[in-house]
Structure 1
Amino acid sequence: MREILVLYYSHRGSVRALAEQIAYGIHQVPGMAARVRTVPRVSTVCEALESDIPADGPPYVEIRDLEECVGLALGSPTRFGNMAAPMKYFLDGLAGAWVNGTLAGKPACVFSSTASHHGGQESTLLSMMLPLLHHGMLLLGLPYTEPALNATRTGGTPYGVTHLAGPDGVPVLSPEEITLAQAQGRRLASIAARLESTC
């Protein structure tokens, strides 16, 4: 069984809900499984703020998760059109993985959530792609061959699945968001499986 790393930071639960649906889609591909991980919060001076083990939810990511997995789904809420500080803090600490080529040649996708329409979903997704390109990853979008991408009135972009949480930050995904998140997980896992079979 090969694993895809589903790595996210979630403040109110919306990005976590997307991550769970992406993981579900990954599990639908024969021979593939999801390894779900998160990152801890950071303080205003960008120092680790949490204990070593989270109180609930998935474990915190470790470098070996990046090494052992054959693909990556990366998720973060939007902060003024960019990823949240905890995810940026984690990515900024991956110089060793960059030097070693840990992620080079592996497929990746991104996902996000905002409280408002036009709240920076696409710019956040694009900003999350930049460090992955520097690591040599193969970026996958969400093609318009997915009918839900044309039907959605909430989240969803060709750069990756998104969720519109609303001003109260409700982590309840729309049917289209669920469909798109699962499709993104299946697409990532299917392409990772194809790449693995050619190696």
Structure 2
Amino acid sequence: MTTQVLVLYYSRHGAVAALAEKIAVGIHQGGAEAVIRCIAPLQATANAIAASRHPIIQLDELKKCDGLAFGSPVRFGNMAAEAKAFWDSTTSCWLKGELIDKAAGVFTSSGSMHGGNEANLLSMMLPLLHHGMVLMGIPYSEPELHKTQSGGTPYGPSHVSGMNGDSQLSVAEQRLAIAFGKRLALLSSALKQQRFD
């Protein structure tokens, strides 16, 4: 039985989308299937939807996933309004407990090293905890976590875009995102096995 891990994100300038794609590489390395979906902008015009890098999430896809990586850019130390609006629409999923005991983790991007990456990652965990998910981050056994001069935190992968909004990930950011995806795949598979035993 294949383990399916949903990589769900909102991205305006492409950095969070780039992290999502690297996380998906790690998920595949961990032996699971990665499904990348994005959250629609609040002003979801036909042009905006057509221009999206990945398909827009449908609530049924969230319900069916075995694990979740959730990403959003930092907006004043918190997740983007689009990401918050998505979680506000998941009450039916919460009422049925459809995400309970599934693995999850979070990822983000900010404009500066001290732009709120860690605060955002911690706040992004809150809706996942309310849904009963099992949260994970990146352990310090990953060498890049000790050496990174860009993004990367124990709470989850991150990117620092700088004031020019550079979406190109550093080598450390890429490696940490892949390691995170692989760990998420392995944990998702283990928890899925427990649910079906």
Q: Which runs of 4+ in 1 moved over 6 A?
A: none
Query: Residue type of the partner of 1:19?
Result: A
Query: Residue type of the partner of 1:41?
Result: P
Structure 1 equivalent of residue 151 of structure 2: 155
1:61-105: CA deviations, max 9, x gaps?
A: 111111211000000000000000110110111111110111111
Structure 2 equivalent of residue 26 of structure 1: 27
1:101-159: CA deviations, max 9, x gaps?
A: 11111000000000111100001001100010000000001111111100100001110
Structure 1 equivalent of residue 41 of structure 2: 41
Considering only aligned residues, what root-mean-square deviation do their CA atoms show, in Å? 1.2
Percent of aligned positions that are identical: 49
Number of residues of Structure 1 aligned to a counterpart in Structure 2: 193
Which of 114, 120, 140 is 2:116 aligned to? 120
Name the CA distance, whole Å, in 2 between partners of 1:78 and 1:39: 15
Unaligned runs of 5+ in 1: 44-48
Q: 2:78, 2:120 within 8 Å by CA — same for their partners in 1? A: yes
Structure 1 equivalent of residue 45 of structure 2: 50
Structure 2 equivalent of residue 13 of structure 1: 14
Displacement of 1:29: 1.6
1:27-48: CA deviations, max 9, x gaps?
A: 1122x110000011114xxxxx
Displacement of 1:12: 0.4
Question: Secondary structure at 2:113's aligned position in 1?
Answer: coil
Equivalent residue runs for 1:83-122 within 5 Å = 83-122=79-118
Name the CA distance, whole Å, in 2 between partners of 1:54 and 1:5: 21
Unaligned runs of 5+ in 2: none
Q: 1:10, 1:76 within 8 Å by CA — same for their partners in 2? A: yes
The answer on 1:80 being equivalent to 2:81 is no
Superposition TM-score, scaled by structure 2 size: 0.95
Which of 142, 148, 163 is 2:138 aligned to? 142
Name the CA distance, whole Å, in 2 between partners of 1:56 and 1:74: 17
Displacement of 1:53: 4.5
Name the CA distance, whole Å, in 1 between partners of 2:87 and 2:162: 27
